[in-house]
């Protein structure tokens, strides 16, 4: 910002104060992270207003806005700036940073204009994943864009002890290690992982896991507009093999079954190609209890009936309460069988899917929502594209493990009458 102020002064000698706008996901993160970092780097140089919405330094006037929602864009519209600083637009779980939407960037592009001075829009961040808008802007940038990568170890404000602490903090999370230690792109998740027990080096099998012929298989289901199915098998040795996982984006249960599952179960792992006979003859289908609900427009139609009609399965209602569902998944990831992990995930991506759905969910996509204040909301999972396979697994695993915390088992009828009589007034 100081260097850019000199550029502006050289272009227009009357331009003694350069106007900047600093934008972050929330104002509380500006107060909690950005301002302390500035004060540490330049002690005594900056002065901030009482509400920390304005920063003043020699030759600089900085307006600071948190983009807690899209309505916050009104704060920067209507003004013109010599420079805009977008800080950490991709989510950062450890800081409670929810990230920013592409609309914020587009509005900022429009607000750097006017006068004789040069304009600057700078985005400072840890690398995001291939699906985030910052990656797309980097691949096809606007005119006059320069991209700088700070290599690990180049930041003079971090000591070796700081770097070792970060490495230790993310040693069990390869995705976060790639972003915050190595400075590489890695998949970004907007919440706090529900399953920190998941370890890719430990739970992912070294090679593809194919179904064991003649052994019953499990299909765990979730419904809605993104129906999902996780195909598993309890092996004779007592391990759970997670073989395939599918999500039908923006389709119904029938489309998922007919267009994806039927072709899958006709492939070599599930069917002998020479004789045409299925290798698996016994299936157990467990899922979200709401799949058994009848539609108002057609009382004969249910998602569970589609499973029966298309695949021949007999649907069982899974556990509906969140706590036993969550605990069953965490238990599965923590169990050991004969020195091996109970939960073993096949490393391959199911045909027709963009990635291994279960791997993405357990690595952080299946998550709790983090409020802009940093508060983690653990009442239920964050609803996103990864939550569907996560929910499917928890509905099924809780049923398999028969974990149930609530509601409480009701008293026998005679005891209910006796207890009610004790409250009676005569």
Q: Which two tokens stand for residue 362?
A: 């357990």
| pLDDT at residue 297, as a whole number | 39
In which residue are the tokens 């998602």 written? 303
Run of H or E residues at 103: helix 102-111
**Residue 426 has what pLDDT?**
43
**340-386 pLDDT, tens per residue?**
999 999 999 999 998 899 998 998 889 998 776 667 888 999 988 89
Bridge-partner residues for 154, per DSSP? none
Determine if residue 59 is left, alpha or beta; phi over 0 gives left, psi from -120 to 50 gives alpha, anything else beta.
left
| From the candidate CATH numbers 3.30.70.260, 3.30.420.280, 1.10.10.10, 2.40.160.20, the one assigned to the domain spanning 200-401 | 3.30.420.280
Beta strands in 258-342 (DSSP E): 283-287, 315-317, 336-337, 340-341
Residue 416, pLDDT score? 63
User: What CA–CA distance (Å, rounded) separates 24 from 100?
Assistant: 8
pTM summary value: 0.61
Burial class (CB in 10 A: 0-12, 13-18, 19+), 174: middle
Kindly report, residue by residue over 264-313, the tens digit of the pLDDT: 999 999 999 889 999 999 999 999 999 988 654 344 578 899 999 999 87
Q: Residue 350: is it exposed, middle or buried by C-beta count within 10 angstroms (0-12/13-18/19+)?
A: buried
Return the domain boundaries, the chain.
2-148, 200-401
Q: Are strands 336-337 and 315-317 parallel, antiparallel or unpaired?
A: unpaired
What count of other Cβ atoms lies within 10 Å of the Cβ of residue 149?
8
Strand arrangement of the beta sheet that strand 60-66 belongs to = 47-48, 54-57, 60-66, 18-24, 83-87, 120-124
- Residue segments in the chain with a per-residue pLDDT below the cut of 70: 69-70, 92-98, 130, 172-175, 187-190, 294-300, 372-374, 403-426
Element containing residue 241 per DSSP (H, E): strand 240-247
* Selection from 22, 48, 186 nearest residue 104 by Cα: 22
Predicted local distance difference test score (pLDDT) of residue 413: 66
Q: What is the pLDDT of residue 94?
A: 52
CA distance 204 to 198: 9
How high is the pLDDT of residue 388? Answer: 95
Cα separation, 138 vs 121, in Å, equals 14
H or E element: which one contains 28?
helix 27-29
Backbone angles phi, psi at 140, to 5 degrees: -125, 75
CATH architecture designation of domain 2-148: 3-Layer(aba) Sandwich (3.40)
């Amino acid at each position: 910002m100081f260097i850019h102020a000199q550029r502006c002064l050289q272009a227009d000698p009357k331009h003694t104060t350069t106007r900047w706008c600093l934008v972050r996901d929330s104002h509380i993160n500006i107060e909690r992270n950005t301002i302390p970092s500035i004060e540490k780097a330049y002690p005594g140089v900056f002065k901030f207003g009482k509400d920390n919405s304005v920063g003043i330094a020699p030759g600089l006037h900085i307006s600071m806005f948190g983009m807690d929602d899209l309505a916050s864009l009104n704060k920067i519209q209507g003004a013109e700036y010599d420079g805009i600083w977008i800080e950490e637009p991709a989510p950062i779980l450890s800081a409670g940073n929810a990230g920013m939407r592409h609309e914020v960037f587009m509005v900022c592009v429009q607000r750097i204009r006017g006068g004789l001075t040069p304009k600057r829009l700078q985005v400072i961040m840890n690398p995001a994943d291939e699906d985030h808008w910052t990656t797309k802007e980097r691949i096809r940038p606007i005119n006059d864009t320069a991209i700088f990568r700070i290599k690990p170890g180049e930041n003079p404000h971090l000591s070796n002890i700081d770097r070792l602490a970060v490495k230790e903090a993310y040693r069990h999370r390869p995705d976060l290690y790639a972003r915050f230690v190595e400075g590489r792109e890695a998949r970004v998740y907007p919440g706090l992982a529900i399953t920190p027990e998941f370890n890719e080096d430990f739970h992912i099998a070294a090679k593809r896991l194919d179904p064991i012929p003649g052994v019953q298989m499990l299909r765990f289901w979730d419904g809605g507009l993104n129906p999902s199915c996780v195909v598993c098998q309890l092996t004779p040795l007592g391990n759970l093999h997670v073989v395939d996982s599918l999500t039908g984006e923006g389709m119904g249960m029938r489309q998922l079954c007919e267009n994806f599952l039927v072709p899958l179960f006709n492939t070599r792992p599930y069917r002998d190609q020479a004789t045409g006979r299925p290798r698996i003859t016994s299936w157990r289908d467990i899922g979200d209890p709401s799949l058994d609900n009848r539609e108002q427009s057609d009382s004969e139609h249910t998602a569970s009936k589609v499973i029966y009609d298309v695949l021949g399965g007999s649907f069982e209602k899974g556990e509906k309460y969140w706590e036993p569902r969550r605990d069953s998944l965490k238990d599965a990831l923590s169990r050991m069988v004969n020195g091996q992990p109970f939960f073993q995930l096949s490393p391959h991506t199911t045909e027709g899917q963009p990635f291994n759905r279960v791997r993405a969910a357990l690595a952080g996509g299946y998550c709790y929502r983090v409020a802009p204040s940093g508060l983690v909301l653990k009442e239920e999972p964050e609803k996103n594209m990864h939550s569907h396979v996560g929910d499917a697994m928890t509905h099924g695993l809780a049923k398999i493990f028969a974990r149930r915390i609530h509601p409480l088992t009701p008293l026998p009828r005679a005891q209910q009458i006796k207890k009610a009589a004790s409250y009676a007034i005569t």
